[in-house]
Amino acid sequence: MTHLCKETLVAVVNGQLPGPAIEVREGDTVAINVINKSRYNITIHWHGVKQRLNCWADGVPMITQCPILPNHSMTYRFNVTGQEGTLWWHSHVPSLRATVHGALIIRPRHGAASYPFVKPHREIPVIVGDWWQMDLVQLNKELKNGTYEYNATVAATINGKLGDVHNCSGKIEDGYVLEVEPGKTYLLRIINAALTSEYYFKIAGHRFTVVAADANYVNPYTTDVIAIAPGETVDALLVADASPAGSYYMVAQDIQPPITDYTEPKLIARGTVRYQSSNNGGEDEAPSSSDVPMAPEMPGLHDRMVSFYFHGNLTSQHRRSPVPTHVDDRLFVTLSAGSVCRHGQSCKRRGNIQESIILVTMNDVSFLLPTAAAAAPLLESHYYYGQNKTATGGGVDLHTLPDRPRKKFNFTDSALIHHGPKEERLEPTERAATARRFRHGATVEVVFQSTAVMQSHYNPMHLHGHDMFVLAQGLGNYDAARDVARYNVVDPPVKNTVLVPSLGWAAVWFVADNPGVWYLHCHYEYHASMGMATVFIVDDGTTADSTLPPPPADLPKCGHNNNLTPNELNPHVGKSDVSYINIV
C-alpha cells in the first residue's frame, strides 16, 4: 500500500484493510478458514469471544496453538452464545495485527428488534487504527530485544484511511466518508485496533449515545466524545440531527503523555459525515470548494481526565451473569517497567540500551515463553500432562505469578517518572513464563496498579476467555481500606479489556469458569511484546460440561521452522509451584 508517498509491504486479509467484517447472530456456530498466503506465521484471535470449552480456538501462538505456517491453513470453529455486540478479530502474532484485523459483529438471535435501544437505520463499523511504515515483524523483534529506537507510526486511520489532515507533495490522503440521511439513527460500532494509542473520537456538531462496550450492553450514556483504548470496542448511536446543508469532520486523535513526561508523535485521522439530501442524489455529489466541513473541538492533547470520566461513567444493563457475592482469590498486580542485562554481566540503567533490555512487568516479572514451549503450545502441555493426567514426557516449566508485588514502594510517586537513583534501584527485573492457576468456578479479584516507573503509560489489560466486572478505578495508589467501599457491585460494566489509568488502578472480578490456558496481557502492543503478560490456567470442573474437550483434529502441529521460538530464559527466577505442568 502507498500512503504519504511511501510504498509499504503489508499483510492483509482478502486484500482489504480493515479486513472483512464477520457478521453473525447470537447462538451461531462460526467456521472460518484461514489460508495463510503471507510470508509470516499467523494465528487469528477472536477478541472477546469467550470460547467456552473451546480454548483450542483462541488463536494465541504457542499458548493455545502452533501457528499456521506460510502456505498452510486452518479452520477455526467456535460459537457465539450469550454474547451480543461488537467484537473483533486480529492476528495474535505480535504487531501484525496492525493490518490483520476486522470487526466481528454479533447481532441478537431475533434481529435488530431486540436491541435494548432504538432500532438503527444502519450499522457502521468504525475501526480506528494506525499506519506504520516499517516491517511489523521486525518491529516486534526490536521491541523484544530492546533495540527499538524510534517510533515509526506516522498516522492514525479511520477504516483504513488517514484523511485530509495528511498530505505529501500536495497529494491529500483519502478520508473515510459516512453518508447519512437527515433525522436517521446510526449505530457506530467503534473498535480501537491500533497498536499503541488510546484515542478520543468526535464528530463535529453531533453527540453520541453509548449503548454497549466490549459486546456488553451499558445504560445509555450521552456524550460528545468517546475515549477508546487498544482492544476496546464502543457501540454508540449517532442521530443525524445537524443541519443537512453542512458537513462534519469526524476525528480520531491519540491521547498524549503529560507534557513534562516525554513526547510521542501526534497521531490523527480525519473523516467526514455528509448528509444526503433528497434533491442532490447524495453519494455522487462532489463537495464544492466552499463546502468546508465543521471541525470538532477535541479535548486537550494531554488531557487524560476525559477518558477517566468516560470509562467511569459506564454501567451495565441486561447483564447475562450476576455480579459475584464473594471472592475466592485475590491478586494485586503492579504494572511496571525494569531492565535485564543483555549479556548477563552487571549493567547500568535502562536508558543505556547497549547493555540492558528494557522490559515491562506484572508483579516484577516480565513474561517470556519457556524455551520448551517452542515444541508444543502451553495448552497442549496442560491438556496432556497437566493436573491429574498420567501421561509423561512433555510439559514445560512455568512460574507462579506472585499474588503481590515483591517490590513495595510508593507506586505512583512522581519522582520515579524521571530516571534517577530512586528509580534505578527498582529497575533490575527478571524474565520468566508466569502463570496462575484457578479452581474451576473460583471468583477472582484482580487489582491492577500502574506505577510511575512506567512513566505515564496507561494499560488496557485484556483477559482471554472471560469477561471482567469492572468494579472501580482510581488515581494514585489503591487502598483496600478506602477503595473497596467504592466498588460498584450493582451495575458494573462488563469488559474483556479494562483500562488501567496512568498512575492509577482498576479493580475487577471475574469467574474462572472456562477451563483452559488463557492469555492475560496489555493490549498496548509494545507492552505485550516487552512482557506485560501472564497466563491464567483454569482447571476443569467435575462434570463433562465443565471439562475442556480434546483438541480438534486439524489443529496445526509445530514445525521446526517456527520463527516464534522464544529466546533466553532468565535464570534468576526460582522453580515453579505450578508444577503439574512441569514434567520435563
Sites of contact with ligand C2O (CB under 6 A)? 45, 47, 90, 92, 231, 462, 464, 519, 521, 523
User: Between 60 and 255, whose beta carbon lies closer to ligand C2O?
Assistant: 60
**Given the C-alpha cell 499483510, which residue does it identify?**
11
User: Between 270 and 523, whose beta carbon lies closer to ligand C2O?
Assistant: 523
Q: Which residue is nearest to ligand C2O (CB)?
A: 47
Helix (H, G, I), strand (E, B) or coil at 341: strand
CB of 55 to ligand C2O, least distance (A): 13
Torsion over CA: 576, 580, 582, 584 (sign): positive
CB of 520 to ligand C2O, least distance (A): 8
User: Between 270 and 436, whose beta carbon lies closer to ligand C2O?
Assistant: 436
> Quick check: 473 and 501 in contact, CB under 8 A?
yes
CB of 93 to ligand C2O, least distance (A): 11
Helix (H, G, I), strand (E, B) or coil at 304: coil
User: Between 435 and 503, whose beta carbon lies closer to ligand C2O?
Assistant: 435
422: how many CB neighbours lie within 10 A of its CB?
15
485: how many CB neighbours lie within 10 A of its CB?
8
- Give Cα 69 to chain centroid, integer Å: 24
Can you tell me the distance from the alpha carbon of 89 to that of 98, in angstroms, rounded to the nearest whole number? 11
User: Between 44 and 357, whose beta carbon lies closer to ligand C2O?
Assistant: 44
CB of 235 to ligand C2O, least distance (A): 17
User: Between 100 and 178, whose beta carbon lies closer to ligand C2O?
Assistant: 100
Residue among 123, 313, 107, 338 nearest 218 (CA): 313
Can you tell me the distance from the alpha carbon of 377 to that of 386, in angstroms, rounded to the nearest whole number? 13
CB of 146 to ligand C2O, least distance (A): 22
> Quick check: 508 and 445 in contact, CB under 8 A?
yes
Cell digits of residue 575: 522453580
CB of 251 to ligand C2O, least distance (A): 24
CB of 521 to ligand C2O, least distance (A): 6
Cell digits of residue 481: 481500606
Phi/psi for 10 (5° steps) reads -130, 150
**Given the C-alpha cell 483477559, which residue does it identify?**
463
Torsion over CA: 360, 364, 369, 372 (sign): positive
CB of 483 to ligand C2O, least distance (A): 28
User: Between 3 and 523, whose beta carbon lies closer to ligand C2O?
Assistant: 523
Length of the chain: 584
User: Between 43 and 272, whose beta carbon lies closer to ligand C2O?
Assistant: 43
